[in-house]
Amino acid sequence: MSPIRDPHEVAGEYVLGTLSAERRREVEQALPNDAALRSAVQYWEQRLLPLAGLAEPVEPSAALWTRIERSIAPAPAPARSPLPKASWWDKLTLWRGLAAGGFAAAAIMAVVVGVRMQAPEAPGYMVVLATPQNAAPGWVIRATGPNSIRLEPLVKTAVPAQRALQLWTKADGWNGPVSLGLVTPGKAVDVRLDKLPPLQPNQLFEITLEPEKGSPIGRPTGPILYIGRAVKVM
């Protein structure tokens, strides 16, 4: 099988469990022979696994339980019918090794990354912003609409006096990053994207340390504190 195009994006969706069953099988068949894909899967597993420990356990909604039961219930068995295929959470490496209660772990991850699962047909995007040095998650971005995102903190970042956090984004083909405004440490914020093109897979987001009133030149001037790329989720 030929290498999968854009393994970083595909690996993110594979680890999150948002690929179709057919696409997932293609990825699993490609993994033994595609070093770039294996590396990307390992990257996303290492990045997303710590998120499960950063949220309080929550009670899944009745609608979520209904979908879970419907997903794992075997179909009526005619003569010689094949065994039901394993659900994606039975295969997903991300969940292996988590504490007992796979459904609880899935619910925790869903809350943390903002995959609310109330409109599974509508695609969206998420971004895990992590430190460049050790990939420690610090913020999560989730698309809340076609022209809006929500930035949610996972930790509280210490900011020196007379300095500020500034959020930036850059998609493929752009001339440079675009400022999305200043960010208050430890506080969630909704950001409008009305003047920007629609979100794209692999779109870059970063938070930099800037002067108190923001970068004076319209592009980042300080160090990158958190960085990540958009992954499409369902």
Instruction: Examine residue 134 and state whether it is found in any structural domain, yes or no.
Output: yes
Query: 35 with 102, same domain?
Result: yes
CB 161 within 8 A of CB 210: no
DSSP string, 157-224: PP--TTEEEEEEEE-TT-SS-EEEEEE-TT--EEEE-TTSPPP-TT-EEEEEEEETT--TTSS--S-E
When the pLDDT of each residue in the chain is averaged and rounded to a whole number, the result is 75
Query: 196 with 226, same domain?
Result: yes
Query: 87 with 128, same domain?
Result: no
Instruction: Examine residue 227 and state whether it is found in any structural domain, yes or no.
Output: yes
CB 110 within 8 A of CB 57: no
Query: 95 with 162, same domain?
Result: no
- Reading the chain (234 residues) residue by residue, the pLDDT tens digits are 455 667 777 887 777 767 778 888 888 888 888 888 888 888 777 766 655 554 455 566 677 667 767 766 665 655 555 554 444 334 444 334 433 334 434 444 554 444 444 444 445 888 999 998 887 889 999 998 888 999 999 888 999 999 999 999 999 889 999 999 999 999 999 999 988 998 988 999 999 999 999 999 999 999 999 999 998 876
Cα separation of 135 and 146, whole Å?
A: 28
Domain final position from 68, 90, 113: 113
Cα separation of 15 and 141, whole Å?
A: 17
Buried b (16+ CB within 10 A) or exposed e, 71-92: eeeeeeeeeeeeeeeeebbeeb
Instruction: Examine residue 2 and state whether it is found in any structural domain, yes or no.
Output: no
Query: 135 with 217, same domain?
Result: yes
Question: Per DSSP, what are the bridge partners of residue 137?
Answer: 130
Cα separation of 36 and 212, whole Å?
A: 41
Instruction: Examine residue 35 and state whether it is found in any structural domain, yes or no.
Output: yes
The encoded tokens of residue 102 equal 């796979």
Domain final position from 82, 113, 144: 113
HSE of 59, CA atoms in CB hemisphere, 13 A: 2
Cα separation of 49 and 141, whole Å?
A: 16
No. of H helices and E strands in the chain? 6, 9
Q: What is the CATH number of the domain that holds 207?
A: 2.60.40
Query: 19 with 102, same domain?
Result: yes
Query: 145 with 227, same domain?
Result: yes
Domain of residue 37 covers 7-113
State the pLDDT at residue 3: 58
Instruction: Examine residue 205 and state whether it is found in any structural domain, yes or no.
Output: yes
Give the count of domains, the chain.
2
Q: By C-alpha distance, which of 205, 210, 129, 127 is closest to 166?
A: 210
Query: 189 with 221, same domain?
Result: yes
Query: 62 with 156, same domain?
Result: no
Domain final position from 113, 145, 179: 113
Residue with tokens 């409008």: 192
Question: Per DSSP, what are the bridge partners of residue 189?
Answer: 151
Query: 222 with 170, same domain?
Result: yes
